[in-house]
Amino acid sequence: MAQRTPLMAGNWKMNLDHHQATHTLQKLAWTLKDAKHDYAAVEVAVIPPFTDLRSVQTLVDADKLEIVYGAQDLSAHESGAYTGEISPLFLAKLGVTYALVGHSERREYHAESDELINAKVHSAFKAGLVPILCIGELLETRKAGEHVAHTLAQLDAALQGLTAEQVRTLVVAYEPVWAIGTGETATPEDAQEMSAAIRGRLAELYDAETADAVRVLYGGSVKSSNVASIMAKPDVDGALVGGASLDPEEFAKIARFQAHEVGL
Ligand SMILES: O=C(CO)COP(=O)(O)O
């Protein structure tokens, strides 16, 4: 049984410029330090806009913060005539650990295909970044009872050509689209159902060890008031948090969900 370290990742989306990013990250770090947060027990990541990454790197390095950080997207290419795209190699030079791939807002607003998402997963691994692969159904798919099939089809497509060794380091974020930004959170049972289905598919595609190693996050209106019930589920290993991560004190409470369980 793999010991999967919980991961709380805050996806800031298109919010907080590089000045605001510095203030927010500083406040988050201070809040977690005051609470004596154990980063070995719960990993904490922020995923800011690209324009903030150098400032985040500077603060993390200067203050030797244990908070890690990621990018919200990346190019499938390393360099060249790809106006507006961001090279995974440049992200690696900025000390980025994680890279979101296939977030529903990229799939919706930028028509990202399964093929492009698969190419980006490979691109992340090649540059030494850890992909956080975002998958999840639409409301109409859930209403049709096809949410598991839809989400697993996204998983299958994104994993094409990956080795078991690569997949074991992958993070998967199950984000039902109907729960993103709506305040309507999936139930802990919904999150467990899909996390277990994802793990089951990984066992089919690869092997039990790989399925056991992969961390599966839940995302979609996570708050400090609901995170503990979601994290109590055996196949859920963390959260990908949007709006609530913009408030450092609220995000710190989410990261410290275990403490809140026991009322510390
Ligand atoms: O999209 C999300 C994280 O990537 C979830 O956003 P919210 O937490 O604002 O629903």
pLDDT digits (tens, 9 = 90+) for 161-201: 999 999 999 999 999 999 998 888 899 999 999 999 999 99
**Mean pLDDT of all residues in 68-91:** 98
* Per-residue confidence (pLDDT) for residue 1, from 0 to 100: 63
Q: What percent of the chain has pLDDT over 70?
A: 98
- What domains are defined for the chain? 7-261 (3.20.20.70)
ipTM confidence score:
0.99
Instruction: Give me 66's structure tokens.
Output: 């244990």
* Mean pLDDT confidence for 30-44: 97
Give the tens place of pLDDT for each residue, 218-227.
Answer: 999 999 999 9
Distance between CA atoms of 122 and 118, rounded to whole angstroms? 6
Pocket test for ligand 1, best of 98, 221, 250 (most atoms within 8 A of CB): 221
Q: How far apart are the first and last CA of the chain?
A: 29
% of the chain residues with pLDDT over 90:
94
What is the sign of the dihedral through the CA atoms of 200, 205, 211 and 215?
A: negative
- Asked whether residue 264 carries a pLDDT value surpassing 60, the answer given is no
131: nearest Cα among 140, 121, 141, 116 = 121
Q: Which of 56-60, 84-88, 138-142, 248-252 has the lowest mean pLDDT?
A: 138-142
Q: Ligand 1 atom 6: the closest Cα is on which residue?
A: 242
Say what the alpha-carbon torsion angle 126, 130, 2, 258 is, to the nearest 10 degrees.
Answer: 170
* pLDDT number for residue 124: 98
Confidence at residue 10, expressed as pLDDT on a 0 to 100 scale: 98
pLDDT above 80: residue 77: yes
Q: With beta carbons less than 8 A apart as the criterion, state whether 219 and 175 touch.
A: yes
Q: What mean pLDDT do residues 243-250 have?
A: 98
At 259 the pLDDT is 79
Give the model confidence (pLDDT) of 184-193 as tens digits.
889 999 999 9
What are the angstrom distances between the C-alpha of 89 and each of 96, 129, 164? 10, 9, 23
pLDDT in tens, 103-143: 999 999 999 999 999 999 999 999 999 999 999 999 999 99
Q: What is the 3-state secondary structure (H, E, C) of 12-64?
A: CCCCCCHHHHHHHHHHHHHHHHHCCCCCCCCEEEEECCHHHHHHHHHHHHHCC
Ligand 1 mean position, distance from CA 159 (Å): 23
pLDDT of residue 28: 98
Q: Which residues approach ligand 1 with their CB closer than 6 A?
A: 11, 103, 175, 180-181, 219-222, 240-244
Handedness of CA 233, 165, 130, 259 (dihedral sign): positive
- pTM of the predicted structure, to 2 decimals: 0.96
Assess whether pLDDT exceeds 80 at residue 262. Answer: no
Average pLDDT over residues 10-35: 98
For a ligand 1 pocket test, name from 132, 225, 241, 250 the mutation site with the most ligand atoms within 8 angstroms of its C-beta: 241
Q: What is the per-residue pLDDT for 260? A: 62
d(CA 23, CA 16): 9
Please say if the pLDDT value at position 263 is more than 50.
no
